[in-house]
Amino acid sequence: MAVSEYFANTYSGARAKFLAAASTAAANLTHHRLPKYRGPENEELFVDVAMLGPQNPENLLVLISGTHGVEGFCGSGCQVGYLTDQLYEALSPTSGLMLIHALNPFGFAWRRRVNEDNVDLNRNFHDFAEPLPSSERYEALHDWLIPPEWEGEQREQADAALYDYANKDFRKFQTELTAGQYTRPNGLFYGGTQPTWSNQILRRIVECIPPKLKKLAVIDFHTGLGCAGYGAPIHVGSASDFALATQWYGAEVQSLNQDEAVATPLTGSVAGAFPQSTADQKVIYLALEFGTVAPMDVLTALRADHWLHAAPGRGTHLRDEIGLQMRQAFNLDAQWWRAAVYARAIDFAMRATRAFRPRVASSKEDRT
């Protein structure tokens, strides 16, 4: 089977491939149905979880797809390939595997980055009993991001102002834009005001992870930033855990808090659903971010999508065009891109597998 065949063009197609591959691998499957919503083919929407390995493993590899909905085409293809190529056989007898497919099934099915409530899941993992981060910097950008109309003079004026601001200091602009905001429910990177359904489901899934793990490696597949086809490994966590992440995955790992990372610091990350590292249990959460098109093209697709949905049922001849823009911005439909993505994803899954193996002392250490 060609690598490109691991990837699907619809949510229902991706789910069918994933369930078939998991069943062939004799994985233990559980299903969480999203209530009240269906996909464009009137299909039910699910977060599916496949487990392989011992019931109480010492180490666990977790691969997540679809945190950002439309980005799930990438992650799902990698999960299907991992199962189909039986790469789980490289895990030691004491290590296990968990695949979380379509964490945001609504966004996956409808080709949106956000969920059914316009919430960005990767900004939603807060303690909502505590004060939310300030949205002041995003507020200054919102009217440029989503103008009243997507064609004509208002759009042109918004673009000119936005591009002028971004060109002065793009890194600063990216930080202010993507950190997460909590005041504009129809805006970009909206983190919500309470835990979403997917948030609650993920926490329920994580509660089932054996508590006595020695090592937990989480790889969350994302798209839209960086060089096309290249997966930038971004560590989300403490500085001490970052040092361990470079031991597991290599010196190319980027810290979300460092300027060289393709992403910028954000609030409410999915990483917050997983336990923190302790002396007895090491936890490394890695986002593997695959580039697609130019950053401002990605932003334009997001702006158009949010403009389209800011008014429910908006009548416009642009609907199909905007949907295509979203697809191209987060999932290049090209065999070379899929092959590059899969190779990089499997490389990092295997690095995690090797990190689970007991450390063997070098000959120099043996002599001391």
Question: Integer distance in angstroms from the first to the last C-alpha of the chain?
Answer: 50
pLDDT per residue, tens digit, the chain (368 aa), is: 799 999 999 999 999 999 999 999 999 999 999 999 999 999 999 999 999 999 999 999 999 999 999 999 999 999 999 999 999 999 999 999 999 999 999 999 999 999 999 999 999 999 999 999 999 999 999 999 999 999 999 999 999 999 999 999 999 999 999 999 999 999 999 999 999 999 999 999 999 998 889 999 999 999 999 999 999 999 999 888 999 999 999 999 999 988 778 899 899 999 999 999 999 999 999 999 999 999 999 999 999 999 999 998 899 999 999 999 999 999 999 999 999 999 999 999 999 999 998 765 544 544 44
- What is the reported pLDDT for 242? 95
Of the candidates 198, 222, 225, 339, the one whose C-alpha atom is nearest the C-alpha of residue 291 is 225
Token pair belonging to 241: 């855990």
Of the candidates 263, 232, 230, the one whose C-alpha atom is nearest the C-alpha of residue 343 is 230
Asked whether 355 and 215 are in contact (CB, 8 A), the reply is: yes
Asked whether 57 and 94 are in contact (CB, 8 A), the reply is: yes
Which amino acid makes up residue 91? L
**Buried b / exposed e along 304-321 (16+ C-beta atoms within 10 A):** bbbbbbeeeeeeeeeeee
127 vs 299: CA distance, rounded Å: 28
Token pair belonging to 272: 């917050």
Instruction: Give Cα separations from 192 to 66, 138, 177, 320 (angstroms).
Output: 18, 14, 16, 27
- What is the reported pLDDT for 225? 96
- Architecture per CATH, domain 3-358, reads as 3-Layer(aba) Sandwich (3.40)
> pTM for the whole thing?
0.96
Helix H or strand E segment including 202: helix 197-207
Q: Using alpha carbons only, how large is the chain's radius of gyration in Å?
A: 20
88 vs 169: CA distance, rounded Å: 44
3-state secondary structure of 141: helix
> What ranges do the domains of the chain cover?
3-358
Which amino acid makes up residue 308? L
Q: Which position has the token pair 């689970």?
A: 356
With 0-12 / 13-18 / 19 or more C-beta atoms within 10 angstroms meaning exposed / middle / buried, residue 142 is middle
Asked whether 212 and 162 are in contact (CB, 8 A), the reply is: no
Residues 6+ apart with CB under 8 A from 305: 112, 113, 322, 325, 326
- What is the reported pLDDT for 180? 96
- What is the reported pLDDT for 367? 46
